[in-house]
Amino acid sequence: MATAVTVSSSLWHHCCRRPTSRIRVRVRASMAMATTVVPAIIVGAGRVGRALQDMGNGGDLLVKRGESVPLDFPGPIFVCTRNDDLEAVLQSTPQSRWSDLIFFQNGMLEPWLQSKGLTNADQVLAYFAVSKLGEPPIDGKTDTDPEGLTAAYGKWASAVATRLLAGGLSCKVLNKEAFEKQMVEKLIWISTFMLVGARHPGATVGVVEKEHRSEARLISQINYYLKSIKSLVVLVASLIIELASAAAEEKGILFEEAMEERLCAYSRAVAHFPTAVKEFKWRNGWFYSLTEKSLAEGKPDPCPLHTAWLKELKVI
């Protein structure tokens, strides 16, 4: 049986606002990009790397595992590896070329980038999906964002957008503040849906959105500082609220309202995706670091539901 909990609606409004400025944050519409695809170095020969190469004009250089990034090939460097391979990529790239790196990884890269002196590194928030090597990518368009969700930031952002447009995909070029907001929102999505799905073995993203989101309607809201969690149904909406609130407090971000609707709409678009808690350091681990920080300061856990479920799955 579910344990009913309540909290003031001010919690959600504290970290979200009405989406009146969603259009204004876009620095440049993707359709305004030039049509010339700039040759690039592509690090990583997996699904995304190969897809980006297929969108090029034949002048790209593909760098595979164990190979070094050349010094004499100008232009952008697309990094399409796993997060845990980023250290090796950096070591194999001449330092004079670090400013040309564009990171396509999911998750919270900011602490790692800062530790390497790459605070303003180019990044891409890739909402397109490549199911199998060699298959065309599926654009991340949803019923709430029909114009597409993929976004790029940095000096090579326009080159990224042009290439994706050439491949039939959408891409927005954003300033750093707008990009960070959308990046954290996707981090909330992947941390929420993967964790909830992991509690229901075999559940896809679509199953989580359809079945376990509806269960959340049994409870109106979550208590932000819930002290005891015993028997709670899977609360997708509540976990989204919890993580969004913690992220807003940590990063000083004011999210647009209707985040739950946007994230669930994306889940419907990629309903076949399997769920699992992966790359903990880069995903759920960032939220758990906020928990550790608060507890060390003698403050309440800002993500109690998240922490409880990580413990339940023996992730921590």
Residue range 186-193: mean pLDDT, rounded: 96
The model's pLDDT over 256-290, given as tens digits with 9 standing for 90+, comes to: 989 989 999 999 999 999 999 999 999 999 999 99
Q: For the segment 39-83, what is each residue's pLDDT rounded down to a tens digit?
A: 999 999 999 999 999 999 999 999 999 999 999 999 999 999 999
Whole-model pTM: value is 0.84
Q: What is the mean pLDDT of the segment spanning 95-116? A: 98
Position 7 pLDDT exceeds 60: no
The pLDDT of 207-223, averaged and rounded, is 56
Q: What are the structural domains of the chain?
A: 10-20+181-312 (1.10.1040), 26-174 (3.40.50.720)
Averaged pLDDT for residues 246-252? 96
Q: 3 vs 114, which has greater pLDDT?
A: 114
* Per-residue pLDDT at 14: 58
CB 44, CB 60: distance < 8 Å: no
- For 117-176, the pLDDT digits (tens) are 999 999 999 999 888 898 899 998 999 999 999 999 999 999 999 999 999 999 999 999
